[in-house]
Structure formats: C-alpha cells, structure tokens
A = this chain, B = another copy of it.
C-alpha cells in the first residue's frame, strides 16, 4: 500500500465517507454557494463547513472563487470521474501487486524473508511462486519425505506449514503419494 495511487484512492474515500461532505457536494452540484449559505443549509457552524470544504478542495472535488470576502465554492465533477476510474476490480488488484523488473525476484525475496524466516506468505500468486521455489530448495532432490518431516522443514521458515505444503503440491513443485512427498 505504498503505491501512490492507492493512497490517493484511500484519501478520496475517506473524504467522501462523511454525511456532511456528501451533502455539501449535493448542494454544490446544483449551484455554487458561499460558506455561510452552506452552513445555514446544513445547520452547521461556519468553521465546520470551512473545514469540510478544505478537505474537499485538497482533492479538487470543489473549487473556490472569491468575491471580496465571500468565497463561492463550486463542484468539480472531473474528480468524481477520476475516483470512478480508480474504483475498478483491476485497479484494486494492483493495490497489492508491485511492478515487475529484472531484480524483481530478488526484491520479493528481500521483502518477504528475514534471514531464513518467511515473514509472511505473499498474497499475489506471482510473488508466492517465487517464495515457493525458494522453499523447494530446502528439500533434497530424489529424497522421499514423510509428511511430518515436510511440516518440520517448512515449519523452520513459517508457522503455517499446512498452507505452504498445499501450495507446493498445487503449484507442481512437489508431489505426493500415500503420504510421502518428494521434490520434482
């Protein structure tokens, strides 16, 4: 969640997830209005409305036009469209997937390993595969392991050995027959 766009999405949602601010936007879609007008309509004090407008403005959901001391605010629909574009399943999935590169695999290992300890199981299928390949190297080729030993070996690196063991099989990195495991 260090991705910039994700943070913007989160900010958008936080700003919009407030009844007063939604109502302000609703009023401003019809016509521009001053802080005082809005306060009267919403039955809030001017500083409160000012605070909300400030937050809306940082995301360009509203814009301001000053006429003397009176500040007229208007709604800016483009920003809503921007939010809509960010609110697709595809964009959401990228929240947790990083960009790929040449050093990508090593970066994954750096990120998820602390020494020989797997800090967490990557959620993205691609990264998980990198970790699983690394884990496979902990087993000798052409050696048959009983399940207890498989658990023990995986368990040296992460407590959730059951999930990892299933993933190793599921991804074709190891095989099982009658409770005996071996590396491919």
Q: In the complex the two chains form, is A75's CB within 8 Å of B89's CB?
A: yes
A interface, how many residues as a size bin?
Answer: 35 or more
Q: Is residue A108 within 8 Å, beta carbon to beta carbon, of the partner chain?
A: no
Q: Is residue A105 within 8 Å, beta carbon to beta carbon, of the partner chain?
A: no
Q: Is residue A56 within 8 Å, beta carbon to beta carbon, of the partner chain?
A: no
Q: Is residue A29 within 8 Å, beta carbon to beta carbon, of the partner chain?
A: yes
Binding site secondary structure of chain A: helix
Q: Is residue A48 within 8 Å, beta carbon to beta carbon, of the partner chain?
A: no
Q: In the complex the two chains form, is A17's CB within 8 Å of B17's CB?
A: yes
Copies of this chain, whole number: 2
Q: Is residue A114 within 8 Å, beta carbon to beta carbon, of the partner chain?
A: no
Q: Is residue A102 within 8 Å, beta carbon to beta carbon, of the partner chain?
A: no
A37 to chain B, nearest CB (A): 7
- With a cutoff of 8 Å between Cβ atoms, the chain B residues found around residue A121 in the complex are 37, 40-41
A90, B17: Cα distance in complex, Å = 18
Q: In the complex the two chains form, is A23's CB within 8 Å of B1's CB?
A: yes
Q: Chain B: which residue is nearest A95 at the CB level?
A: B26
Given known contacts A10-B19, A16-B17, A121-B40, A26 and B87 CB-to-CB distance under 8 angstroms: no
